[in-house]
Amino acid sequence: MARNKVTIVGAGNVGATCAHWIASKELADVVLVDIVEGAAKGKALDLAESGPVMNFDLNIVGSKDYEATAGSDVVVITAGVPRKKDPVTGQYPSRDDLVKTNQKIVGEVSREVAKHSPDAVLIVVSNPLDAMCHVVLQESGFPSQRVIGQAGSLDTARYKTFIAMELGVSVRDIHGIVLGGHGDTMVPLPRHTSVAGIPVRELMAEDTLQAIIQRTRSGGGEIVGLLGYSGFYAPAAGTVEMVEAVLKDQKRLIPSAVYLSGEYGYDGLYIGVPAVLGAGGVERVIEMQLNDEEKAMLDNSADAVKSVVEVLGY
């Protein structure tokens, strides 16, 4: 039986770490693609050379072109440029400029991927996340079920981590979910958060909980403040959780950026909601019963996503 094959476009920190987690779990053969050929080939070779020590036996290759990616089961798209300060002016590029730049990069990637792996499930990690999902959907021509954005898995992981740290308990016993767009308007749901089934509000004061929610919302910024660039271990782990759910047809319920057609009152918009992920990609969207406050926060998040999507011009 042939092994599964996963292509990762973008061999930067997130892409390379995705390859690392996939190899460590022995999930699939991996193809790393990057416009900087040496980066893809070098990291792929380095990772392959760790196989005899870490006991995984996979084909791991790097390439500049897409021929090697043909027939991939899942393609992870991390390509794009981050928001970097201009060394001369000290200014960051405007959001619109960043969106347009990444639209061009991600659009080109999407067309190549669709040509070589027409049956793949595409998992989008490039930022601004929700808007880039629209680009991949448009440019690949794939059905929306096979274009999924990774954000909720990461945001939920951060939320659970901070709760476990505060309470001094295992992260395995924290159950919760974060909805909405990836950014300052994300929607953690404390009403649906528990520790081994015990509602979180029975275990910590409200102001402590609200501080954790705020820390979750600015979780990416906290890492950037410490490192000087974006985090990559947790984003890659959140991505690989989704890759594994698809490859193994696990029917995992993972908060993901998915294309909504009327669910939660939104139509034609990618936003983070609970979704069942399996071999077909998004197999079902779960509609939670949100109270007025939660729905208002999700509406606010959706509005923020719409304002970025409008820049794309589709």
Q: Which of 20, 116, 134, 182 is catalytic?
A: 182
Beta strand pairing status for 174-175 and 178-179? Answer: unpaired
Q: Which helix (H) or strand (E) holds 15?
A: helix 13-24
Q: Where are the domains of the chain?
A: 5-149, 152-312
Please report, for residues 217, 221, 224, 240, 279, the alpha-carbon distance to residue 227 in angstroms, rounded to integers and kept in the order given: 18, 10, 5, 23, 36
Catalytic (active site) residue 134 = no
Sequential pLDDT tens for the chain (314 residues)? 789 999 999 999 999 999 999 999 999 999 999 999 899 999 999 999 999 999 999 999 999 999 999 999 999 999 998 777 677 887 777 777 889 999 999 999 999 999 999 999 999 999 999 999 999 999 999 999 999 999 999 999 999 999 999 999 999 999 999 999 888 899 999 999 999 999 999 999 999 999 999 999 999 999 999 998 899 999 999 999 999 999 999 999 999 999 999 999 999 999 999 999 999 999 999 999 999 999 999 999 999 999 999 999 88
Cα atoms in the 13 Å half-sphere on the side-chain side of 151: 31
β-partners of residue 274 are 255
The CATH number of domain 5-149 is 2.60.40.10: no
Beta strand pairing status for 194-195 and 198-199? Answer: antiparallel
The CATH number of domain 152-312 is 2.40.50.840: no
pTM over 0.85: yes
The single residue listed with the structure tokens 């009152």 is 265
Residues 6+ apart with CB under 8 A from 300: 185
